[in-house]
Copies of this chain bind each other. A is one copy, B any other.
Amino acid sequence: MRLNPTQTLEQIASMIDARYSGDPAFPITGINEIHKVEKGDLTFVDHPKYYAKALSSKATTIIINKEVDCPEGKALIFSDDPFRDYVYLTKQFRPFEPSAELISSSAYIGEGTTIQPGVFIGNHVKIGKNCLIHANVSIYDHSVIGDNVIIHSGTVIGADAFYFKRRPEYWDKMHSCGRAIVEDNVEIGACCTIDKGVSGDTIIGKGTKLDNHIQIGHDTVIGQNCLFAAHVGVAGCVNVEDDVILWGQVGVQKDLTIGKGAIILGQSGIAKSIPGGKTYFGSPVQEAKDKMRELAMLKKLPDLMKLI
Contact = CB atoms under 8 A, between A and B. Distances in A.
Contacts of A68: none
Contact of A118 (B118, B185, B299, B307): B118
A249 interface: yes
Contacts of A146: none
Given A152-B156, A253-B266, A301 B298 contact: yes
B135 A99 contact: yes
A231 B215 contact: yes
A169 B206 CA distance: 11
Given A249-B251, A251-B249, A233 B235 contact: no
Overall SS of chain A's interface: loop
A132 to B, nearest CB: 7
Interface string A205-239: 00101011101010000000101011101010000
Counting contact residues on chain A (CB < 8 A from B), the size range is 35 or more
Given A154-B138, A213-B233, A162 B189 contact: yes
B305 A307 contact: no
A257 interface: no
Interface string A184-209: 01010111110100000000000101
Contacts of A98: 114, 116
Contacts of A233: 213, 229-231, 248-249
A170 B185 contact: yes
Interface of A: 96, 98-102, 114, 116-118, 120, 122, 132, 134-136, 138, 140, 150, 152-156, 159-160, 162, 164, 169-171, 173, 185, 187, 189-193, 195, 207, 209, 211-213, 215, 217, 225, 227, 229-231, 233, 235, 248-249, 251, 253, 266-267, 269, 271, 283-284, 286, 293-295, 297-302, 304-305, 307-308
13 contacts: A99-B117, A122-B135, A153-B156, A154-B155, A154-B156, A156-B191, A159-B212, A170-B185, A191-B192, A217-B230, A267-B269, A267-B283, A284-B295
